[in-house]
Amino acid sequence: MKDGKLTGTQHYGDTVNFVTGVRAPALDRPAPKAWANPEPLFDGKDLAGWQPDNPAANHWVARNGELLNESKGANLRTTRSFDDFKLHIEYNCPHGGNSGVYLRGRYELQVEYEPVGANDTFHEMGAIYGFLAPAVELPKKPGQWESFDVTLVGRRVTVLRDGVKTIDNQEIPGITGGALDSHEGEPGPIYIQGDHTGGMKYRNITLASAKK
């Protein structure tokens, strides 16, 4: 430990990796006094403003005003990055579907309708994956349109699912599995998981940033 950094080596068989770790930022800041008008992130016509992480395996298409993942393959992220925001996103998850919406590309809001018993409350629909379970159990609606309204300020998150508050201004302890990076103090994209199952649909994706 030196100058606020932890350094060392990881050993995997004959492979040795040099690693460096730093403290996560506190990100403890007040909510903005006002929010800008929501902007559409998806125009319903094409993938403008979005990019797959693996173009060769991309199965995301724009169809009938919806963002559809025809089969499992690439994940999809916005080309823009965001700091604090209010996100509205509508989703349609089929039976057996598993996806997720990563806030700043680091905190996964779980989207899934896997078989009953496949996931505990920390990994079910509307959880911040592995960290924050929904406080309210809502009926499963596979194949139907539902919505999330998410407010993220620093590392504190509030989630409304179909207008019902399920997570109330709770702090996310850190990045979740599958995060794009661990640079929590930096802006990040909206990142949608597509590498688990196909058939996921999203629409009416809008985001309001904090007013300067």
Check residue 100 and report its DSSP letter. Answer: E
Looking at the predicted structure, is the pLDDT value of residue 102 above 90? yes
What number is the average pLDDT over the span 80-97?
A: 98
pLDDT tens for 169-180 read: 999 999 999 999
Query: In this structure, is residue 169 part of a structural domain?
Result: yes
pLDDT tens for 103-143 read: 999 999 999 999 988 899 999 999 999 999 999 999 999 99
Check residue 116 and give its pLDDT. Answer: 84
Q: Considering its fold, how many domains does the chain have in total?
A: 1
Looking at the predicted structure, is the pLDDT value of residue 21 above 90? no
Tokens describing residue 137: 């159990």
Looking at the predicted structure, is the pLDDT value of residue 161 above 90? yes
Query: In this structure, is residue 139 part of a structural domain?
Result: yes
Determine what percent of the chain is predicted with pLDDT higher than 70.
100
Query: In this structure, is residue 81 part of a structural domain?
Result: yes
> What does pLDDT average to over the chain?
96
What number is the average pLDDT over the span 20-38?
A: 93
Q: CB-hemisphere CA count at 13 Å for 26?
A: 3
Cβ burial of 97 (10 Å; 0-12, 13-18, 19+) is: buried
Query: In this structure, is residue 137 part of a structural domain?
Result: yes
Domain span at residue 33 reads 28-209
* 101, 212 contact by CB (below 8 A): no
Looking at the predicted structure, is the pLDDT value of residue 3 above 90? no
What number is the average pLDDT over the span 202-206?
A: 98
Query: In this structure, is residue 131 part of a structural domain?
Result: yes
Query: In this structure, is residue 178 part of a structural domain?
Result: yes
Cβ burial of 142 (10 Å; 0-12, 13-18, 19+) is: middle
Residue carrying structure tokens 């700043």: 104
pTM: 0.93
In three-state secondary structure terms, 66 is strand
Q: What is the CATH number of the domain that holds 143?
A: 2.60.120.560
Query: In this structure, is residue 17 part of a structural domain?
Result: no
Residue carrying structure tokens 């909206």: 190
Element at 142 (helix H, strand E):
none
What number is the average pLDDT over the span 53-76?
A: 98
Query: In this structure, is residue 101 part of a structural domain?
Result: yes
